Structure 1
Amino acid sequence: MSSPLPIRARVVLLCGPSGSGKSLLAARSGLPVLRLDDFYKEGDDPTLPQVVGSSDIDWDHPLSWDADVAVAALSQLCATGRTSVPVYDISLSARTGSEDIDFTGAPVFIAEGIFAAEIVERCREAGVLADALCLSRGAVTTFRRRFLRDLREGRKSVPFLLRRGWRLMRDERSIVARQTALGAYACDRDEALERLADASRSTREVIGDVRVPGSPPRPAAEPHDVTAPHS
């Protein structure tokens, strides 16, 4: 990942097992959020991996996710504050459109998803990484949260959700170990909020008011309160 344009923002990559509370934490932070789940491959992609010994697609394998497209979007956001991202429907395993997002004026944003750790090194090499966090709450808690969320949202069939949930509960320790080995820092919700506040402060000091040549003056950023939940 390389950006020929001056860096206007940096990213905090937020990973963790499915159901660990990443989306809730990101929303509570008050920072702009990029949903990395929108970069899943479509269900008819021939490169999708399967669960060993099953006909199920392994949506928890990094190869089910388009890292190159995600990194390109992150690079553009860090350079210009704007990009276009796909809108993905997990229940359909398909992209249903695209969305233009604008983080102009925010020196830090969050990119959250179960595969965020996969791009830690690429973001670090590009100089756009503010921090990388791995949220963990324990296998039983994440199993319950994940199953109730996926059932409520109708993401997949109940048998599929149960098979996936049982497999992920058994594998949670190794999932966290992999994400931390890739460069994410394992922490709970409270420590994650503290590190987000630190990342926001330090990035403001480093980046200052750098802007892309030819772009309009950047409006003053509103202060972000990383301790107060959204209404």
Structure 2
Amino acid sequence: MLDTNRPPEASPARGNGSHWCPVSASSPLPTRVVLLTGPSGSGKSRLAARSGLPVLRLDDFYKEADDPSLPLVEGSSDIDWDSPQSWDADAAVTAIVELCAGGRTEVPVYSIATSSRTGTETLDISRTPLFIAEGIFAADIVARCQEMGLLADAICLRGRPSTTFRRRLARDLREGRKSLPFLLRRGWRLMRAERGIVARHTALGAHACARDEALGRLAACAAGRHRTTAAA
């Protein structure tokens, strides 16, 4: 995902976006989360930053490279970082629960370049009634957040696979995330699989749409019009 605020090996500064939401800081409304997903390189981080809302980066919950449970790409020795098994969903949900309940949580700082956690930091959203949790695995926790009454909406960004490929490769090279051969293998594989990835996210309960519609849905959530049921 395109991230214009973070250095190559660390998370971006996590600002408080309560000024963006048209609900006062003293509002009794409970805090809810918008889960923002989509293929890698689809523009999730850019959209989240544009919203002005606080953002929980779900990529920081990746497992570390020495974790024996990490999956491999079939027929390859590459770790499959695009599999939900490479990600700690329980820790991510715990962070969302804590933000919704108390407005703050401790989150890992993850280096994609070294596939390791380099520390922790506090994400404090204060009394902001809405925040975004964005990442390629966000759709995998839609049902859990819905069941706990925490979900405002679930959005899957979609676009042209060729455009996503170019954005993803340019970002990953700029940030030095992995070696060029690895990035090319992964990029080609993801481009061919992109439509299936979007279909999977939709089946898990996310609404697939382009940027402008996604911004409209975020505005609706900020106005208090939360989704009440998961998508079929």
TM, length-normalised to structure 2? 0.84
Letter in 2 for 1:193: L
Counterpart of 2:87 in structure 1 is: 65
Q: Is the 8 A contact 2:34 2:132 kept in 1?
A: yes
Which of 146, 154, 172 does residue 194 from structure 2 map onto?
Answer: 172
Which structure's CA Rg is the greater one? 1
Which of 29, 51, 54 does residue 32 from structure 1 map onto?
Answer: 54
State the secondary structure of the residue aligned to 1:96: strand
Matches within 5 A, 1:45-194: 45-194=67-216
Letter in 2 for 1:115: F
1:64-100: per-residue Cα shift (whole Å, max 9, x none)? 0000000000000000000000000000000000010
Computed over aligned residues only, the root mean square deviation of the Cα atoms, in angstroms, reads: 1.5
Deviation (angstroms), 1:115: 0.2
Aligned partners of 2:225, 2:176: CA distance in 1, in Å? 39
Structure 2 residue 22 is the aligned partner of structure 1 residue 22: no
Deviation (angstroms), 1:8: 3.4
- Structure 1 unaligned regions, length at least 5: 1-5, 207-231
State the secondary structure of the residue aligned to 1:160: helix
Counterpart of 2:24 in structure 1 is: none
TM, length-normalised to structure 1? 0.85
Aligned partners of 2:180, 2:137: CA distance in 1, in Å? 23
Aligned partners of 1:67, 1:105: CA distance in 2, in Å? 24
Aligned partners of 2:30, 2:97: CA distance in 1, in Å? 10
- Structure 2 unaligned regions, length at least 5: 1-27
Aligned partners of 1:22, 1:101: CA distance in 2, in Å? 19
Higher relative contact order (CA 8 A, sep 6+): 1
Aligned partners of 1:157, 1:75: CA distance in 2, in Å? 36
Count of residues in Structure 1 that have an aligned counterpart in Structure 2: 200
Aligned partners of 1:9, 1:96: CA distance in 2, in Å? 29
Query: Between the two proteins, what is the percent identity of the paired residues?
Result: 71
Aligned partners of 2:135, 2:146: CA distance in 1, in Å? 17
Aligned partners of 1:137, 1:110: CA distance in 2, in Å? 20
Q: Is the 8 A contact 2:172 2:183 kept in 1?
A: yes
